[in-house]
Amino acid sequence: MTDLSLYRNIGIFAHVDAGKTTTTERILKLTGKIHKIGEVHDGAATTDFMEQEQERGITIQSAATSCEWDGHRLNIIDTPGHVDFTIEVYRSLKVLDGGVGVFCGSGGVEPQSETNWRYANESEVARLIFVNKLDRLGADFYRVVGQIKDILGAVPLVMTLPIGIEDQFVGVVDLLTRKAFVWDDTGNPESYEVQDVPEDMVDRVEEYREALVETALEQDDDLMEAYLEGEEPSVEALQACIRKGTIALSFFPTFCGSAFKNKGVQNVLNAVVDYLPNPTEVEAQPEVDLEGVETGGKAIVDPQAPLRALAFKIMDDRYGALTFTRIYSGTLSKGDTVLNTFTGKTERIGRIVEMHADSRLELDSAQAGDIVALLGMKNTKTGHTLCDPNQPATLEPMVFPDPVISVAIAPRDKAGAEKMGIALSKMIQEDPSFYVETDEESGETIMKGMGELHLDIKVDILKRTHGIDVDVGKPQVAYRETITRRIEDSYTHKKQTGGAGQFAKIDYIIEPGETGSGYEFISSVTGGNVPREFWPAVEKAFGVSMDEGTLAGFPLLDVKVTLTDGGFHPVDSSAIAYELAAKAAYRQSIPKASPQLLEPVMKVDVFTPDDHVGDVIGDLNRRRGMIKSQEAGITGVRVKADCPLAAMFGYIGDLRTMTSGRGQFSMEFSHYAPCPNNVAESVIAEVKARKAAS
């Protein structure tokens, strides 16, 4: 049996362009997994193996790889930084025990870093921080540490200090051992010397070391007492305290370096082994029953326990579908039959492989703590639990956000229609935040996703991977509707058709709910005027009706329906009759309740050089944006605003034009807000015209 204490399942996550993939490359080189370093900007990085990734220099899919360091096995997942692919980060963090957050030394805490950090907090993942790119112009380690405190509200435990800055950056000082690691200019990660601390840094090193010791010793009262009495703790004792605090999420050990120049990556690797938890030290995943209620059981990391594994990613390659799976407890062998609790069907394990980006190593079995890919799974999708058929249990499923943007696509030729259907169903399996549906009225195929880039990549994959040329329509925004007035109303459904008829009378109140509450149904009927067994029929019928609003047919949000009274007939009343009554009541009352169109508002975070701030803000105002804050940095200004998605199409092109190509932005969905009247009118008119034309 493998010793689980020698396992580390870690992810590398950060904002786009902070250097995650480059850091992963360096780790693979240091651990002897690859012999030649590939560069992102040359399109040759090991973990970026999709054509689209190589061209754009960004990571789209999270890639898994394994390597060895200091006798420990590291399973590493390199995650995307781009906001449209946050879902990849979310599901990777879900199955990892620890992570390395990479921050850019000059950019600092960027918008996407915040989102990823928030996800990691929700998943309670222990992390190290690596402040990268200290060789870049405008890099400032101490400023970034300050931002981590202020913006993320985290406690960075500074473990190393940089020697020199920007093009003078030569190495780091390890605060625990008070030793300086200085690299030469060859770019070889192994060619460094251990020296004494440079004289001009002695005071600063002592100051930061003292802060490190005090923070670490808060984890052990006895050591703290001894320290206050003047006893210096040993390095081993400090390391034990740091490990304890890191796993408890009390603080985050912070390192610095330059992955591109191969400086400081070893310290991070040592820290992964020293401070990040092994699979047995992480709180066990709670088990839930089929209704999603916790059973009180835990998936304890033990190879002897019943099998519990979570499929967290599906990837299609030339050999068929690969199901990436994290095994939480038990052992999985080739030829085993496992139960998928979501579908209720059993599946046979064909092959088990260990992945290294897009190459693989065959395995006979895998056990608790492993991350492996399975071949031959037919019905397993992302978020499904695989378990022992004799002792079933489900792990907490993943929740994915709703898409905010959609486009219509059509194949250029008839022959491509069938191919497109097959290709899209594969892509849906791979990416849970990507949806495809057919418009019932027009018969068009609609793709829905998290942003323009997301859908752009999908069209590109269709074209390149599957060889299907498609015409893409104009992006459509996912509008919603709501009501603004309280309405008390009544509806009677009567139908007499020889023999038994249909009768249902309902009195009800429809009123606006709280923002974000969705659909709420209450019954306050007393005295049996509407028998209790018919309430679910009324609730269901109103709920189904909410899928289509009365203004332009968009789903209705945040509505509360109260059933107050009604009437029934002992013979003619039935669930169907009440259902029909509720549907008609919906159509009768919603138009009276002053319905209103809602539009998705995005959190926009724009970086612009100082001399273009006025243009950028003026442009955001024109796009109906609400400016929230402005923060001046060394290299420019960050402007945060709330903007409606409808006004943000093609923004990247306009921003680059305004800022001579130096501006950057990211956006993510924030909330739904009422649409101004003129916008609402034109949207409703457009929908009506579309329906009339189809």
Which residue type occupies 63?
Answer: A
* Sequence-ordered strand ranges (E) for 257-307: 285-288, 294-299
* Cα(106)–Cα(114) distance, integer angstroms: 16
Q: What is the pLDDT of residue 42?
A: 40
Other CB atoms within a 10 A radius of the CB of residue 13 amount to 33
For the chain, report the end-to-end CA distance as a whole number of angstroms: 64
Residues 6+ apart with CB under 8 A from 305: 299, 329, 330, 368
Question: What is the DSSP annotation of 295-323?
Answer: EEEEE---TTSPPEEEEEEEEEETTEEEE
Contact present, 163 and 4 (Cβ < 8 Å): no
Question: What torsion do the CA atoms of 176, 182, 187, 188 make, to the nearest 10 degrees?
Answer: -70
Q: Which residues contact 455 (CB under 8 A, 6 or more apart)?
A: 405, 407, 447, 449, 475
CA-nearest of 42, 4, 308, 257 to 144 is: 257
Which residues of the chain, if any, have pLDDT below 50? 1, 35-62, 81-84
**Tell me, what's the pLDDT at 52?**
46
**Calpha distance 223→215 (Å, rounded):** 12
Burial of 399 (0-12, 13-18, 19+ CB in 10 A): exposed
pLDDT tens for each residue of 309-326:
888 777 766 556 778 888
Tokens 């950028």 found at: 616
> What pLDDT, on a 0 to 100 scale, did the predictor assign at position 50?
44
Contact 139, 105 (CB under 8 A): yes
What integer pLDDT is reported at residue 328 of this predicted model? 84
Q: What is the phi/psi pair of residue 381, to 5°?
A: -120, 175
Look at residue 41 in the predicted model and tell me its pLDDT.
Answer: 41
Q: 607 Cβ partners below 8 Å, 6+ apart?
A: 107, 110, 636, 637, 638, 639, 663, 664, 665
Q: What angle do CA 394, 397, 399 make, to 5 degrees?
A: 170
**DSSP type of residue 294:** E
DSSP string, 51-109: HHHHHHT---S-EEEEEEETTEEEEEEE---SGGGHHHHHHHHHH-SEEEEEEETTTBS
Please report where in the chains the tokens 């329509």 appear, as a residue: 473
Residue 241 and residue 216 in contact, taking contact as beta carbons nearer than 8 Å: yes
Q: E strand or H helix at 291, and its extent? A: none
Residue 259's H or E segment, with its range, is none
Half-sphere exposure in the Cβ direction for 461 (13 Å, CA): 21
For 185-247, the DSSP string reads: TT--TT-EEEEPPPGGGHHHHHHHHHHHHHHHHTT-HHHHHHHHTTPPPPHHHHHHHHHHHHH
Report helix angle 202-217 to 235-247, nearest 10: 60
Please report the pLDDT score of residue 490 as a whole number. 92
Bridge partners (DSSP) of residue 656 are none
Closest CA to 181 of 270, 68, 72, 273: 270
CA distance 420 to 399: 27
